[in-house]
Each structure stands twice: as structure tokens, then as C-alpha cells.
Amino acid sequence: QVLLVQSAAEVKKPGASVKVSCKTSGYTFTTYGISWVRQAPGQGLEWMGWISPFNGNTKYAEKLQDRVTMTSDASTSTVYLEVRRLTSDDTAVYYCARGLAEFDPWGQGTLVTVSS
């Protein structure tokens, strides 16, 4: 069974950084990319980018590329998302999902709240 398990909710102050983890299991880690999608409260889905654990290649959404870094650790089958210089607009549930095309399955989501 393929599972993606994300880290717990975070509360951050404006200007801080957050790092969310996504631990995968049930498949060969390097054979699938991982994408990140976020969802602000009551809003739709926003694609943030993806990483290929096979070679470390990344692609970020243009509006986020100067504040986001995605990394992977094959020894623990875990992918990480770091978002820097947080503002209240970054308050959202952050999801990881397996795949670089269609996304399946998804992690359970990590709520990141940015508040002073």
C-alpha cells in the first residue's frame, strides 16, 4: 500500500520559514516524483512544484520559486518542502502527492498557519 505521511501542523510568525516533510512508503522511492499542492482556507488547489527523487531535479511555480525549496532524502524515503519569508497569504494546508503528471495518492495534509 502506497502511503504518504506528512508532518504535523505548524504555527509560524510572518517572515519565518517552515519545513514540511512527506514520508513515503509502499513503493520504490526513486521511481516516482513528488508534487506539492497547497490550499488556502476555503479556496481551491494551487500547484507549488515537484521534485524527482531520482536525480533531484525540481520545478517550481513561477510565483513561488524565489521562496520555495524542495529536497529529498532517499535514506528515509522522505521529501521536504521549505517555504521562506512567510506571510499571512501562505496560511494553507500543504499537500504532497505522488506523481509528476496526475497525482496519486496524496498525503493527509499539513496545516501551516502564519500569524503574529
Partner 1 sequence: DIQMTQSPSTLSASVGDRLNISCRASQSIGDWLAWYQQKAGKAPNLLIYKASILHSGVSSRFSGSGSGTEFTLTISSLQPDDFAIYYCQHYNNEWTFGQGTKVEIK
Find the shortest distance in angstroms from Cβ 102 to partner 1: 4
Scanning 7-15, 43-51, 71-79, 80-88 for contacts with partner 1 by CB under 8 A, the matching segment is: 43-51
Cβ atoms 44, 31 nearer than 8 A: no
x/- mask, partner 1, residues 57-86, rule CB under 8 A, reads ----x-------------------------
Instruction: Give whole-number Cα distances, 83 to 8, 27, 104, in Å.
Output: 15, 27, 23
Whether 1 and 26 have beta carbons less than 8 Å apart is answered as yes
DSSP letter (8 states) at residue 13? -
CB 72 within 8 A of CB 22: no
What mask of x and - would describe binding to partner 1 in positions 3 to 42, judged by CB under 8 A? --------------------------------x-x-----
List of residues contacting partner 1 (CB under 8 A)? 35, 37, 44-47, 50, 61, 95, 97, 100-109
